[in-house]
Amino acid sequence: MSASIALRSRTARIIFLFPLLSLFLTGCGFNNIPTYEEQAKAKWSDVLNQYQRRTDLIPNLVETVKGFAQQERSVLEAVTVARAQATSIKVDASTVSDPETFKKFQDAQAQLSGSLGRLLAISENYPDLKSNQNFLALQAQLEGTENRITVARHDYIEAVRQYNTELKTFPGRIWAMIFYTSNKPMEEFTIADSARTAPQVKF
């Protein structure tokens, strides 16, 4: 009888202590690593969505410019090639912890940004192109997309900084060594500030 009472008493203590233990772990940042990881991955998805939006705009932009400036063949081809290179790199959630693939991705996007900047610059030499309604609409969409890319990339960098810091500092480092051993630091954008600048879109 006493053994049964002792067992029930021990069970009651475990049931009582479990919520307290869970609260203690939460308060000590036990859930920070997976929480920050998911936040960073969500911001990465936002970055990819905005880059995809830009990629989708390029064919129409190239065709519109071609209609007014066919002689700018080298510039048009450079944009087309840069777009093809950027889209050939397969990226997903794992890319953020793969330095080699991440660098290839950001280098390709920087190359595409440069080519787009040169494409937009030639419009200054073609008044008919500058006044074309389709071209103006595409310019406006591209400008908005470049701004969204800048914001999405900034938000991603901040989320990654928070996640990486958690992996390196106490108590996150302890949780990482014990429970989250497969978690790796995520990559940040390291391209030059000049390459991050959105192409100048003039009306």
| pLDDT tens profile 72-120 | 999 999 999 999 999 999 999 999 999 999 999 999 999 999 999 999 9
Give the pLDDT score at 103: 94
Give the pLDDT score at 202: 43
Query: In 3-state terms, the chain is what percent helix, strand and coil (to 5)?
Result: 80, 0, 20
Longest alpha-carbon distance in the chain: 98
Q: Which residues contact 84 (CB under 8 A, 6 or more apart)?
A: none
For the chain, which residues make up each domain, given as ranges?
1-29, 31-196
* Better-scored residue on pLDDT, 3 or 108: 108
> Would you say 151 and 51 are in contact if contact means Cβ atoms under 8 Å apart?
no
Distance, in Å, from the CA atom of 63 to the CA atom of 56, rounded to the nearest integer, reads 13
Q: How confident is the model at residue 201 (pLDDT cuts 50, 70, 90)?
A: very low
| Three-state SS sequence of 167-200 | HHCCCHHHHHHHCCCCCCCCCCCCCCHHHHCCCC
Give the pLDDT score at 191: 54
pLDDT at 203 over 70: no
- Encoded tokens for 69: 């400036």
Give the pLDDT score at 10: 64
What tens digit of pLDDT does each residue of 143-196 get? 999 999 999 999 999 999 999 999 999 889 998 999 999 999 999 997 554 444
Helix (H) or strand (E) holding 202: none
pLDDT at 5 over 80: no
* Beta-carbon-side half-sphere exposure of residue 142 (alpha carbons within 13 Å): 26
CATH architecture of residue range(s) 31-196: Up-down Bundle (1.20)
